[in-house]
Amino acid sequence: MQAASVIRIFHNPDCGTSRNTLALIRNSGVEPDIIHYLQTPPSRPELLTLIAAMGIPTRVLLRTNVAPFEALGLANDRFSDDELVDFMLAHPILINRPIVVTPLGTRLCRPSELVLDILPNAQQGAFSKEDGDAVIDIKGKRLT
């Protein structure tokens, strides 16, 4: 694997989708910069840059199945984008993941196969997700 990379992943090792995405990056022959965003959350400017680069509404980046979402009443549409960013910075668990940054783009990789669209290098071998779903065949070709 390459020692240096220009790929970054905002990763939560407790998340299967995040682990699968990381494995797909590694299957392309790159060891990415791994940012454990729960321990090292992005700064406000960095989070705003990621949201803009993904081209998604701020609300799409919110995780809805975590305790702070309910406790803060975030299902209510009354909050501005700036307020939503404030909540994500105060409670990084609210940031959906994994977010991957490559020279080809920035993407929220849910499902994990979305990372394939922004990886500069081809897959180097077969790959199946943790649940056994085959994603890449033995020749490195995408199955889905």
Given 8, 15, 69, 114, the catalytic residue: 15
Report the half-sphere exposure of 5 (CA within 13 A, side-chain side): 21
Answer yes or no: 109 catalytic. no
Measured over the CA atoms of residue 5, residue 102, residue 94 and residue 46, the dihedral's sign is positive
Rounded-to-integer distance, Cα 25 and Cα 33, Å: 11
Backbone angles phi, psi at 30, to 5 degrees: -120, 135
Only one residue has tokens 């959906």, namely 96
The residues annotated as belonging to the active site are 15
